[in-house]
Amino acid sequence: MPAVITWIAILLWLVTGAHAESSAEAEPRSEGPAVAAESDDPGTGTDPASAEPDDEGDGDDDDEWDPYEGMDRSGRIPAVEKDVEVPDRWRYIPEGRIMPGSIVDRFLVSTFAAPLFFRDEDIGVGGGFGFVDIDFRNKRRREFAGVFASYTSEGQQAYGFTWRRWLHTIDHPKGGVLQEERSFFRIAGGYSKTLTRRFFGFGADSRESNETSYEDELFDINVGIEMALPDPGSDWILSAGFRGELHELAPGAIDDDPTTDELFPDAFFDAETSNLGYFQLGLHWDTRDSQANAYGGWRVGAAVNAALLQRGGDLGAVFALDAQRAFTVPPLFHSGAEGDEEHPPTDSLVFQFETATTAGDLPFFALPSLGGSERLRGYIGGRYRDRSNWYLGAEWRLWVIPRGFHIPFTRAVRIERIGLTPFVEAGSVADDWTDLFSSSVRASYGIGLRIGLERQAIFRVDLGFANEGPNLSARFGLAF
């Protein structure tokens, strides 16, 4: 069973773009006292174009590779000196996790062909298959790429691809690499056909009895960049991107519910064929020690997702504000760090606040919402939807098994630690942002299981409760 869970986690981590430890050009690592920096920035470090590696592993034999180089057999990674401005924001990847060789040589080490698993109330239990390479093109884990296909118990089919390249990496003189997780370039896209999307109408007082379903056939492409400014690891983070979506809606396939076109014909037919081109821009002040799994610090920022290209010439945008505060708290089930280590087991208390409002015209499915696997997890996805929303959540992230175990029948895959996460949430939606202050507040609470492979790679199963019954979701990556 642990092996099955691990393969599930690895694939979900990679195909959703949540993995933040891929890094480094495939240069022979330095054995001298100097640290050779590599960057995509002009005039900084080694020019990647002039230092392309041998994709067959630079002649190293697999027998020379040690999966425990740079780490203890318990999974503990001794801390290394990081000659950078903000060391906490650079992830260290030991040499033992960077295997040389071809895709075949690295199979079940840094290339995987394995099952996928996920669950959401509106699309059902999903399974599928994916192939991923977390050391794509043998760049010493600077890049990853993946393709996947899945099918769910409610008839959803999905096919997609993803690729990501980190922009700032350093080869460490003692082996392994340092990777700044804040700056990267990404491309992703795919096709999906979902037969059972839900719509209950607009507003925080929409009735459960008004549940309808619709089919959504979607082609999408997403290109973006995030950059720490003015230097790698700095507090300011600028994000920009473009997302193209082609939607074709049809009546849904839930036998006991009316279809959306029957109960909400105006909203449905306005959105029936929607071609959307979103331009995305965000700026955040982020003092946290990690973007993917913070143990301390603040994040405050704003973003706009503007659909400036729409079929019919409409214009619309969603403007959002968000804030997060993370605190390190005393552990309950473990004693914390063992000496000076890279990523000790750390318990945390994390608060998240968000609010968004809409300007112009957007199809109903693109409006701010609550419910699903990330926001108000006690409700089905999209349960509450309108032109504005707010959300407040808190999680107590506790590690119960602080030292994990190696997965049998693999050479380098291990579960790092296992934990529990009680959570509470509240939020609301309204037509106008000022109406949020008088709209009905909805709440949920629950408990989650966390299975960590690395700091940025956490598989979660959340059981949320609300006044409409429990909702179980399984996903890779934290809710916030």
- Residue 13 is predicted with a pLDDT of 42
Q: Which of 377, 376, 252, 271 is nearest to 314 (CA)?
A: 271
95, 100, 105, 108 alpha-carbon torsion, rounded to 10° = 30
Q: How confident is the model at residue 292 (pLDDT cuts 50, 70, 90)?
A: confident
Confidence at residue 63, expressed as pLDDT on a 0 to 100 scale? 56
CATH code of the domain in which 125 resides: 2.40.160.50
Nearest-angstrom CA–CA distance, 69 and 388 = 51
- Which pLDDT band holds residue 8 (cuts at 50, 70, 90)? very low
Residue 282 contacts residue 239 (beta carbons within 8 Å): yes
What's the mean pLDDT in 361-371?
97
Pick the closest to residue 183 from 160, 196, 166, 162 (CA basis): 166
d(CA 136, CA 126): 26
pLDDT in tens, 145-163: 999 898 887 788 999 999 9
pLDDT value of residue 270: 95
- Degrees, nearest 5: CA angle 326-329-331: 135
> What are the CA-CA distances from residue 332 to residues 85, 419, 455 (Å)?
33, 11, 19
| CB distance 443 to 463 below 8 Å | no
Q: Per-residue pLDDT for 367 more than 50?
A: yes
pLDDT digits (tens, 9 = 90+) for 437-460: 999 999 999 999 999 877 877 889
Q: How many CB atoms lie within 10 A of CB 442?
A: 23
The whole domain housing 187 covers: 2-476
C-alpha distance from residue 271 to each of 200, 214, 362, 372 (Å): 15, 11, 8, 21
pLDDT class of 411 with cuts at 50, 70, 90:
low
| Structure letter (DSSP) for residue 308 | E
Longest dimension (CA), the chain: 71
Structural domains in the chain (count):
1
Q: What share of the chain is helix, strand, coil (3-state, %, to 5)?
A: 10, 50, 40
pLDDT value of residue 255: 79
Amino acid in position 379: Y
Residue 170: pLDDT band by 50, 70, 90 thresholds? very high
The label of the residue with tokens 């609010």 reads 355
Of 89, 27, 26, 44, the closest CA to residue 226 belongs to 89
- Structure token pair of residue 203: 């507003």
How far out from the chain centre does Cα 219 lie?
Answer: 20
DSSP-based three-state secondary structure for 49: helix
* Amino acid code (one letter) for 323: A
